[in-house]
Amino acid sequence: MNDATSRLQQAFQRYDAYNARDPNRFEWQGQDHPRELFLSRKRHEWVLELAPQAGEALLLAARSQHIGRWEMPRDSYPEGRLGYLQWRKELMGHHAAHSARILRELGYPEPLVGRVSQIIQKKGIKTDADVQVIENALCLVFLQYQYEAFHREYPDKIVDILCKSLRKMDASGHTRALALDYSAEGLEHIRQALAAL
């Protein structure tokens, strides 16, 4: 293992250790996990699937995209769209700052730290290939691991919610999304959303 690979693995370990603190739990196939630890690893797996030749910055961003998410809960911001947008913007900065601190402690150069922060904050979606891979991966993790429980809670809003997520994906992401396993009802919602794009 060379020094660069070793440092990358150290970064993953630091990210995972931080996300293991998440008090929120996520159950999958009978096993209980810290929520963000589970989701960050699955997002990383999807990035490797979508971009097998992914560079170091993209891999680091994938693993730390939502690091420390539980520290800024949605209900700590005002209700409504303006409160939601403020929360999302500040949350991305929160993730980028946590990731950057860890990378600097490991001796990563500033240009790479800045690139990781740029990807985490999704600057250049639809024009930056790495940011688009992250967006596809985020949506695919939701669809594969969270969607079936989610759509049953919001049957009247789910198609609109899906449209907002699917618009952020590209055609490749849509193809991957349709190939996942869903209930018949879940698949129909997705088909309706794609048809409405």
Q: Six-digit token pair at 9?
A: 């693995």
Answer whether residue 3 shows pLDDT above 90.
Answer: no
Average pLDDT, the chain: 94
Q: What is the pLDDT of residue 31?
A: 95
Answer whether residue 156 shows pLDDT above 90.
Answer: no
Q: What is the pLDDT of residue 5?
A: 75
Type of residue found at 128: D
Q: What is the pLDDT of residue 169?
A: 95
112 — pLDDT class (breaks 50, 70, 90) = very high
> Where are the domains positioned within the chain?
3-125, 146-197
Q: What is the pLDDT of residue 2?
A: 66
1 — pLDDT class (breaks 50, 70, 90) = low
> pLDDT > 90: what percent of the chain?
90
Cα 154 to Cα 128: distance, rounded to the nearest angstrom: 32
Answer whether residue 101 shows pLDDT above 90.
Answer: yes
In degrees, to the nearest 5, what angle opens at C-alpha 153 toward C-alphas 148 and 159? 70
164: Cβ contacts below 8 Å, ≥ 6 apart: none
Q: Are 71 and 49 in contact (CB under 8 A)?
A: no
Averaged pLDDT, 153-159: 88
Q: Are 44 and 59 in contact (CB under 8 A)?
A: yes
Answer whether residue 97 shows pLDDT above 90.
Answer: yes
Answer whether residue 126 shows pLDDT above 90.
Answer: no
Q: Taking Cα atoms as reference points, which of 163, 165, 173 lies closest to residue 194?
A: 163
78 — pLDDT class (breaks 50, 70, 90) = very high
52 — pLDDT class (breaks 50, 70, 90) = very high
Averaged pLDDT, 176-192: 94
Q: Are 48 and 42 in contact (CB under 8 A)?
A: no
CA distances from 153 to 69, 148, 150, 163 (A): 22, 9, 5, 17
128 — pLDDT class (breaks 50, 70, 90) = very high
Q: What is the pLDDT of residue 58?
A: 97
Q: What is the pLDDT of residue 95?
A: 97
Where is average pLDDT lowest: 61-70, 121-130, 131-140? 121-130
